Amino acid sequence: MQAINVSGGGEPSMGRTPPLRYPNTDRILSGDAGEPYTLETFVDYLSENHCIELLDFLSETKTYIDAYRASAPDICATKMTSDSRRLGKQWKSLMSTYITPGAPDELNFPQYIRATLLDRTNVMILPPSPAVLEPAMRYAHEMLTESALMPFIQSIRLSGNHINRNNVNGRNNMNGRNNMNGRNNMNGRNNMNGQNNVNGRKNLSPSSEPHGSGQINLRAISGPSSNTMYTLRRVRGALENGGGYLLSD
């Protein structure tokens, strides 16, 4: 799977932070952004555009942190316990999936972050503290905002999904049929292919938009993919169990 370019060292530029009238990353991840910027749509966008690894990494580090804090009193610095063995396996899975060079979902963190994470020994006896993960989590969150949030918002604006599809100028338009007042959709023109027609232009289904055209292919209309649902379950589980770790400080 394509690695996500988050290299460059230091703190990433936040010059592409969205205007205040649009939701920020935390609002979307917490489910507070509302239509059309829902968590489901955002996860589906990330999956379609090979950015899902960032969110997967954040949710899996949250799982590790929760398990570590629940097991901390039982971790012994001199011998392996069932808790330390389980945490050590989780840590190794994180490293082999996202951090080790050539990993299947490798994230291109700056070298100083990567080296700190990989420079952990005896993890089966003394699993690394959650504090070791904090720089990587902050960086992943910032890159999720910088690399994915604005393109996601722009894709919705371009696709017309930012307009309530069931309401055109205050009239209820029922899935492309004549609205409740007996009128056709906006400007008196017929709705094409059962899709909303705004200002007489055909609103392309996201599934029909070509990749690379500036209009991102979203699959929210046809329903989320299995990969989307898997990530959604993990993110929601993390949020329900004190999900501040997924969000910025």
Report the distance separating Cα 165 and Cα 170, nearest Å: 11
- What does CATH list as the number for 25-160+223-246? 1.10.167.10
pLDDT at position 80 is 86
pLDDT at position 158 is 87
Q: Is the pTM of this model over 0.85?
A: no
Cβ neighbors of 222 (< 8 A, separation 6 or more) are 207
Secondary structure (DSSP) of 228-241: HHHHHHHHHHHHHT
Q: Using the Cα atoms of residue 200, residue 35, residue 50 and residue 24 in order, give the sign of their dihedral.
A: positive
pLDDT at position 159 is 82
Report the distance separating Cα 98 and Cα 3, nearest Å: 9
Are 74 and 83 in contact by the 8 Å Cβ rule? The answer is yes
Are 148 and 218 in contact by the 8 Å Cβ rule? The answer is no
The residue ranges of every structural domain in the chain are 25-160+223-246
DSSP class of residue 108 equals -
DSSP class of residue 177 equals S
Q: What is the pLDDT along the chain (249 residues), one digit of tens a residue?
A: 334 333 333 344 444 555 557 899 999 998 999 899 999 999 999 999 888 999 999 999 999 999 999 987 778 777 888 899 999 999 999 999 999 999 999 999 999 999 999 999 889 999 999 999 999 999 999 999 988 999 999 999 888 744 444 444 444 444 444 444 444 444 444 443 444 443 433 332 333 333 333 333 322 323 344 455 556 655 655 555 554 445 554
Give me the residue label for tokens 């949030």: 149
Phi and psi angles of residue 79, each rounded to the nearest 5 degrees, phi first: -150, 155
